[in-house]
A and B are shown apart, each in its own frame.
Chain A
Amino acid sequence: MSELVFQIVVAVVKSLIIIFALLTGFAYMTLFERKVAARIQIRYGPNRVGPFGLLQPLADGIKLFFKESPTPRGADRFVYLAAPCISATVALAAFAVIPIGPPIEIGGRQIGMYLSDASIGILYVLAVGSLGVYGITLAGWASNNKYSLLGGVRASAQMISYELSLGLSVLAVILVVGSPNMTKIVEFQGVVPLLLLQPLGFLLYLISGIAETNRAPFDLPEAESELVAGYHTEYSGMRFALFFMAEYINMITVSAIATTLYLGGYKGPIADGPWWFLLKVLALLFVYVWVRATLPRMRYDRLMNFGWRVLLPVSLLNVFLTAIGVLIIEGRV
């Protein structure tokens, strides 16, 4: 087998594994969220379909699959159909550079547990992640519905505002590690997770991450109390499911990046491996659900104020202090 064919086969297999894992993760994330939110509200949550409700995602999927998906009159049909596809594709693509475990050996070859060890690593994630806003904004615009449009406009404004803080908190990590490559970032955290060096950065990343994925308390683009369902008001059935999928996979991706950047990725106190990665991602996803079940939605002007007048200056300060710290440690000041 020639080297090229081997590389292609490996890439395809890895892609399929990642897509399968993310889709399963999405399905069970919906159950996890409903279960945790239910416990917080002193309820059981879904427990009728299968043992402990474990087949609930399947039932939901079948329901969504067989639902009618009407297109509203006056909608821009092409964009209307393309928008959910953009959201879902971008959500899946962002996971490509995240290393979920140390390299393994198969047939005498080293195979990394990531789809691509891109040297720009985290920059790729930011670039692809920011494409996600197109799906939402175009969905809002193409639906020919005022609520959808407002949701889409809110989404673009919010995601652009919080992307700055997100990018700046990531920049501080790059300053400390000296490389945007994900594998290098994980290797750097062999002894001390970056959480201890960048506690403020971690907090900023977490808050911006919640805003980036449009999750409560920053779920303004779909604020049901004002905008019916925001940008996906006019979507139903599998088209809606694609947006839903994008949101949940984005949550998983943001948690996975936080794990990689701040919590040491697949590294643990003993026996490094994907299980540590999974455990940390699950913990962060729990925080997502926990926050959603606790905090009410913010008012829109406060959301913008918070993004521009609190998060952004603090992120800049964090980068500034980190840069000075790095210079001092390297003995250049």
Chain B
Amino acid sequence: MASFVDDVGALVRGLGTTFRHIFRPTVTYQYPEKRRPVHPRFRGRHKLMRYENGLERCIGCSLCAGVCPARAIYVEAAENTDEHRISPGERYARRYEINMIRCIFCGYCEEVCPTEAIVLGNDYELADYDRASFVYTKDMLLVPDPRAGEALVSRPT
């Protein structure tokens, strides 16, 4: 009999708990309108960074492509010349492509990069309608030139 009373008490307490929860404020983020802030070390969509003077950091060394466990990165390097200077080093990436379907967002490319050219950003809304559009090209990945508007001129650093 005592255990029966305990059992019924447990049921009533359970119902009481759930009833109180009805009046609690919800914890839902109304997603497309309100977004959760991402963590500082969140690994989202990649960015190819530049120096303050607008030159690209990437020197086309292909270490990122080499370390990539998913083999998602393709780099094709070309020589810098004084007339046509893209990055401060000897070479720059003429083509830089990441296949976002293959990428596992491990961040090894970011770790291995000697010039901190490739960085994983905060953007995580990467859905698209066809497979071809998941191959992100260099001009999609490259951050805008900080000297926006100015012509790109060769300027050794």
Does A79 touch B at the CB level, under 8 Å? no
Counting residue pairs across A and B whose Cβ atoms lie within 8 Å, the total is 32
Is A290 within 8 A of B19, CB to CB? yes
Is A39 within 8 A of B21, CB to CB? yes
What 1/0 flags go to B21-44 for Cβ under 8 Å of A?
Answer: 110111110100000000000000
Interface residues on B, range: 10 to 19
Q: Which residues of B contact A7 (CB under 8 A)?
A: none
A294 to B17, CA, bound (A): 9
Is B18 within 8 A of A40, CB to CB? yes
Is B18 within 8 A of A290, CB to CB? yes
Does B101 touch A at the CB level, under 8 Å? no
Within B124-140, the residues touching A (CB, 8 Å) are none
Q: How many residues of chain A have a CB within 8 Å of chain B?
A: 12
A88 to B49, CA, bound (A): 64
A290 to B15, CA, bound (A): 7
Is B22 within 8 A of A39, CB to CB? yes
Q: Which residues of B contact A41 (CB under 8 A)?
A: 21
Does A36 touch B at the CB level, under 8 Å? yes
Q: Which residues of B contact A44 (CB under 8 A)?
A: 26, 28, 30
Does A42 touch B at the CB level, under 8 Å? yes
Is A43 within 8 A of B28, CB to CB? yes
A33 to B: closest C-beta gap in Å: 13
A90 to B: closest C-beta gap in Å: 31
Among candidates B17, B22, B24, residue contacting A36 with C-beta atoms closer than 8 Å: B22
Does A131 touch B at the CB level, under 8 Å? no
Smallest CB-CB separation from B14: which chain A residue?
Answer: A294
B69 to A: closest C-beta gap in Å: 37
A-B contact pairs, 16 of them (CB 8 A): A39-B22, A40-B18, A40-B19, A40-B21, A40-B22, A41-B21, A42-B21, A42-B26, A43-B28, A44-B28, A290-B18, A293-B18, A294-B15, A294-B17, A295-B11, A295-B14
Name 5 extra pairs, CB < 8 A, besides A41-B21, A43-B27: A40-B19, A42-B21, A42-B27, A294-B14, A295-B14
Q: Which residues of A contact B (CB under 8 A)?
A: 36, 39-44, 290-291, 293-295
